[in-house]
Amino acid sequence: MSGILLLEQSLNGLQFGLMLFLLAAGLTLVFGIMDMINLAHGSLYMIGAFLAAKFVELTGSFWLAVLLAMAGTAIVGMALEMSVLRRLYARDHLAQVLATFAIILIANELVRIVWGPQVPLGTPAALSGPVRLLPGLEYSSYRLVIIAVGLAVAVALYLAVTRTKTGMLVRAGASNREMAVAMGVDIRRLFTLVFGVGAALCAIAGAMLGPILAVQVGMGEDILILAFVVIVIGGIGSIRGALVGALLVGVVDTMGRAFLPGLLREFLSPPVASALGGALASILIYLLMAAILAWKPQGLFPARG
Amino acid sequence: MLMRFMALAAALMVASAALAADKVKIGFISTLSGPNAAIGGDIRDGFNLAVKLAGGKLGGLPVEVLVADDQLNPDMGKQHADRMLKRDRVDFVTGTVFSNVVLAIAPQVTDSKTFFIGPNAGPAQYTGAQCNPFFFVSSWPSEAYSEAAGEYVTQRGFRNVIFLAPNYQGGKDAANGFKRYYKGKLADEMYTKLGQLDYAAELAQIRAAKPEALYVFLPGGMGINFIKQFVASGMSKDIQLVVPLWGSDQDIIRAVGDPMLGLFSLGHWTIDLDNPANRKFVAEFEKEYKRLPTGYAASGYDTALLLDAAIRKVKGKIEDKEALRKAIRAADFQSVRGEFRFNANQFPVQDYYLQVVGKTADGKIAHKTMGKILSARGDAYVQDCKMK
């Protein structure tokens, strides 16, 4: 196994992990502060990607479209919070799961009616080629930009949560909601804000991944499951936990997919090795989760002390 | 009054039941949503074009085409097939794209003595001992494109090649076909999840293996994503990418554009094949849909022509299944692919061509025929088919 291969796979894992982080960040705050399970988070990711594709059509600029999609998805997210989700906070988790699952189905059909099952979204022309990182390693410039955007958002979010007053209130809400309310924090407004920010982060992930994957109805469901794994590993309510969890899941998933089939091929036929390797790679993430929970039942960085 | 009305209604219903034999019902189950929607859409458009050019009839009988979307989900395909066979009582089932869906629905179609005509995937199982009088494939046996690809990379002198396909029936058939004709060393044999969209991990493995050529069997949206990511990874300069016809066809050219130029592919049809049937098809398709046709569309069109000829041959008496079967086997029509006949297993025997993606005289990006790679090729399993 060469160093270049390892480096390239690490970059792939980093890129995937950072995008998972964008999804997990909003999810973990919503879950942490309001104790609310929001399955419809993946729908916001889908809506963000569709909005980005449509805004690219309208404006012709990819980056402007990403910003507009962020704003649009934040508005959709906040409207959803104020109209429906707010009524679910006091209910038990089962009611929340059922209601937000219904929102997934409704969102999928609405998007299908408004925009159709799939819309095209291309890589910006300037980023469609490779960049030479090392002799023998040319890497997709767009994937590098995804990594850069992901890192930038992670830093910005970290600063916002640790250095600003609103961030302090968010942390207070996540570690002890009742106490925060007792101290006079307007938790309702805070939560609408958190929800809007979470939705905007979803839109970034959807818009950035759209050109690599596909902007289509149902795109949010698969990735949502991974986002939940991330927040459980990282500790519910913790941004830092979401980042570490996302990178762990991204790297473990990519490395597993890349190297397990090769290992198995030593003693199995290629189709069987690939199928088994792929299955084992997906199981690997859940093994990781089980191991971490056995070691730290609250996740790596529990927000509630 | 009421009684009389009801009697009239009953009489009308009886009359319409008697008339039902005067039209032909086609159950068209295809993949029409998701990243692979363009494939089913093209087969459907090709099929409908042939019906339209024949005046809304096939073999002189008015046609009703019932279209359903299998969503690339074998269970969904089965549900549609069940409904079409039992409630709608269709005469033919066609339209299918993926071999896993074909394998799921074909048994119930053939068991009910309804003809199944595969316009795209032709799973290898049905070419051999499992061949069935009610099972036809009008496009190509599923190993054939990959056999031609194996032959081509061998002719080019490539000795270090990687094979990549989704892990499903069609992908395994492709591997068998490729290995039958490829004489060099297989540097790696990679299988991905069907429907996978991100190929970063596979591309890194390919870069590390440094092959001379790469044969990639990825239908629809999977192929679009792979080629885009392959070009973005910077490997396209050093590694010759070879694909099946549909791996570089118009649906992918529309999505990827100029980076497609110079890509080699292998298939049973090319847009520039010089025969009257094909010239007419390409011109009419472009006029009707304002885009160039794909191999999928050509197969859909040919499937309708095949049914048209067969129904005409039995003079519209489609209830006589044995006569109808003989008429389909005769394939008595001008195919857009040129020479073509059915084998004993009711799969095509035909030529396979090498194509390259180039620019046409009017600046469009399209396939050009570069030569014939396999002539009158059937498949490797026909001797196991005991059907007469």
In tens, the pLDDT along A274-291 reads: 778 877 887 899 999 999
- Chain A hits for B35, CB-CB cut-off 8 Å, are 118, 214, 216
Higher pLDDT, B193 or B162: B162
- Chain B hits for A138, CB-CB cut-off 8 Å, are 233-235
A187-200, pLDDT tens digit by residue? Answer: 888 889 999 999 99
B79-101, pLDDT tens digit by residue? Answer: 999 999 999 999 999 999 999 99
Nearest to B191 among A140, A254, A275 (CB): A275
DSSP 8-state secondary structure symbol assigned to residue B34: S
- Chain A hits for B175, CB-CB cut-off 8 Å, are 270-271
Residue of B nearest to A213 (CA): B197
Higher pLDDT, A62 or A257: A62
Domain regions of chain B by residue span:
2-141+274-349, 144-270+352-377
Asked whether the predicted pLDDT for residue B388 surpasses 80, the reply is no
* Cα of A118 to nearest chain B Cα, Å: 7
**Is A108 an 8 Å CB contact of chain B?**
no
Higher pLDDT, B337 or B34: B337
Q: What is the pLDDT of residue B17?
A: 43
Q: Which amino acid is at A151?
A: L
Contact A278 B167 (CB under 8 A): yes
Asked whether the predicted pLDDT for residue B19 surpasses 50, the reply is no
Contact A5 B204 (CB under 8 A): yes
Contact B37 A16 (CB under 8 A): no
Q: What is the pLDDT of residue A276?
A: 84
Phi, psi at B279, each rounded to 5°: -60, -40
Chain B: which residues have CB within 8 Å of chain A?
Answer: 33-35, 37, 167, 171-172, 175, 189-193, 197-198, 200-201, 204-205, 207-208, 221, 225, 228-229, 231-235, 255, 259
Asked whether the predicted pLDDT for residue A61 surpasses 90, the reply is yes
User: CA-CA distance, B379 to B141, in Å (whole number)?
Assistant: 7
Q: What is the pLDDT of residue A214?
A: 83
First to last CA, chain B: 58
Asked whether the predicted pLDDT for residue B5 surpasses 70, the reply is no
Q: What fold is seen in the domain B144-270+352-377?
A: Rossmann fold (3.40.50)
Residue of B nearest to A12 (CA): B200
C-beta of residue B143 within 8 angstroms of C-beta of residue B124: yes
* Cα of A23 to nearest chain B Cα, Å: 18
Q: Give CA angle at B161 (B158, B166), nearest 5°.
A: 145
Average pLDDT, chain B: 90
Residue matched to tokens 């910006």: A124
Contact B197 A271 (CB under 8 A): no
User: CA-CA distance, B21 to B61, in Å (whole number)?
Assistant: 9
User: What is the crossing angle of helices A41-59 and A187-209, to 10°?
Assistant: 60
* Cα of B58 to nearest chain A Cα, Å: 32
Nearest to B35 among A216, A258, A261 (CB): A216
Asked whether the predicted pLDDT for residue B118 surpasses 90, the reply is yes
| β-strand pairing of A215-216 with A118-119 | antiparallel
Q: Given pLDDT bands bounded at 50, 70 and 90, which one contains residue B11?
A: low
* Cα of A90 to nearest chain B Cα, Å: 37
Q: Could you give the residue ranges of the DSSP H alpha helices within B20-69?
A: 37-53
Asked whether the predicted pLDDT for residue B336 surpasses 50, the reply is yes
Asked whether the predicted pLDDT for residue A264 surpasses 90, the reply is no
- Between residues 45 and 104 of chain A, which touch chain B (CB distance below 8 Å)? none
Q: What is the pLDDT of residue B20?
A: 41
C-beta of residue A212 within 8 angstroms of C-beta of residue A142: yes
**Is A134 an 8 Å CB contact of chain B?**
no
Question: SS3 string of chain A?
Answer: CCHHHHHHHHHHHHHHHHHHHHHHHHHHHHHHHHCCCCCCHHHHHHHHHHHHHHHHHHHCCHHHHHHHHHHHHHHHHHHHHHHCHHHHCCCCHHHHHHHHHHHHHHHHHHHHHHHCCEECCCCCHHHCCEEEEECCEEEEHHHHHHHHHHHHHHHHHHHHHHHCHHHHHHHHHHHCHHHHHHCCCCHHHHHHHHHHHHHHHHHHHHHHHCCCCCEECCHHHHHHHHHHHHHHHHCCCCHHHHHHHHHHHHHHHHHHHHHHHHHHCCCCCHHHHHHHHHHHHHHHHHHHHHHHHHHCCCCCCCCCC
Residue B32, phi-psi category: left (phi > 0), alpha (psi -120 to 50), beta (remainder) = alpha
**Is A31 an 8 Å CB contact of chain B?**
no
Lowest mean pLDDT among A212-221, B327-336, B345-354: A212-221
- Chain A hits for B221, CB-CB cut-off 8 Å, are 214
B333-362 b/e (C-beta count within 10 Å ≥ 16 → b) = bbbbbbebebbbbbbbbbbbbbbebbeeee
CA distances to A98, A262, B184, B267 from B212, rounded to whole Å, are 53, 20, 11, 22
Asked whether the predicted pLDDT for residue B249 surpasses 50, the reply is yes
What is the biggest distance separating any 2 CA atoms in chain A, rounded to whole angstroms? 64
Residue of A nearest to B209 (CA): A5
Higher pLDDT, B360 or B9: B360
- Number of Cβ within a 10 Å radius of residue A249: 26
Average pLDDT, chain A: 90
Nearest to A274 among B33, B34, B191 (CB): B191
Lowest mean pLDDT among A30-34, A40-44, B107-111, B334-338: A30-34
Q: What is the pLDDT of residue A282?
A: 78
**Residue B16 has which token pair?**
């319409």
Q: What is the pLDDT of residue B285?
A: 96
A131-156, pLDDT tens digit by residue? Answer: 888 888 889 999 999 999 999 999 99
Lowest mean pLDDT among A13-27, A175-189, B99-113, B201-215: A175-189
Contact B225 A258 (CB under 8 A): no
- Number of Cβ within a 10 Å radius of residue B146: 28
C-beta of residue B366 within 8 angstroms of C-beta of residue B358: yes
Q: What mean pLDDT comes out for the span A89-98?
A: 92
Q: Exposed, middle or buried by CB within 10 Å (0-12, 13-18, 19+), for B6?
A: exposed
Q: What is the pLDDT of residue A266?
A: 82
CB pairs under 8 A between A and B: 97
- Number of Cβ within a 10 Å radius of residue B125: 17
Q: What is the pLDDT of residue B322?
A: 94
* Cα of B50 to nearest chain A Cα, Å: 27
Mutate to test the interface with B, among A46, A127, A212 (most CBs of B within 10 A): A212
User: Got the DSSP string for B196-259?
Assistant: ----HHHHHHHHHH--SEEEE---HHHHHHHHHHHHHTT-TTTSEEEEEGGGGSHHHHHHH-GG
- Chain A hits for B204, CB-CB cut-off 8 Å, are 5, 8-9, 12, 258
ipTM of the complex: 0.83
Contact A278 B193 (CB under 8 A): yes
C-beta of residue A200 within 8 angstroms of C-beta of residue A58: no
From 3.40.50.2300, 3.60.21.10, 1.10.357.10, 3.40.50.620, which CATH number describes the B2-141+274-349 domain?
3.40.50.2300
Contact B200 A141 (CB under 8 A): no
Nearest to B200 by CA among A130, A52, A266: A130
Nearest to A101 by CA among A85, A79, A118, A117: A85
Give the list of residues 6+ apart from residue A298 with CB closer than 8 angstroms, or none: A235, A236, A304
- In whole angstroms, what separates CA B200 from the centre of its chain? 28
DSSP 8-state secondary structure symbol assigned to residue B260: G
Phi, psi at B161, each rounded to 5°: -130, 145
Phi, psi at B261, each rounded to 5°: -60, 135
- Chain B hits for A16, CB-CB cut-off 8 Å, are 198, 200
Asked whether the predicted pLDDT for residue B152 surpasses 90, the reply is yes
Q: What percentage of chain A has pLDDT greater than the value 90?
A: 57
Q: Given pLDDT bands bounded at 50, 70 and 90, which one contains residue B9?
A: low
Asked whether the predicted pLDDT for residue B16 surpasses 50, the reply is no
Residue matched to tokens 């390409």: B282
Nearest to B148 by CA among B295, B282, B45: B295
Mutate to test the interface with A, among B71, B164, B202, B233 (most CBs of A within 10 A): B233
* Cα of B282 to nearest chain A Cα, Å: 26
Q: What mean pLDDT comes out for the span B48-64?
A: 94
Q: What is the pLDDT of residue B337?
A: 95
Q: Given pLDDT bands bounded at 50, 70 and 90, which one contains residue A20?
A: very high
Q: Is B373 helix (H, G, I), strand (E, B) or coil?
A: strand
User: CA-CA distance, A11 to A142, in Å (whole number)?
Assistant: 12
* Cα of A251 to nearest chain B Cα, Å: 11
Nearest to B201 among A118, A217, A258 (CB): A258
Q: What is the pLDDT of residue A110?
A: 95
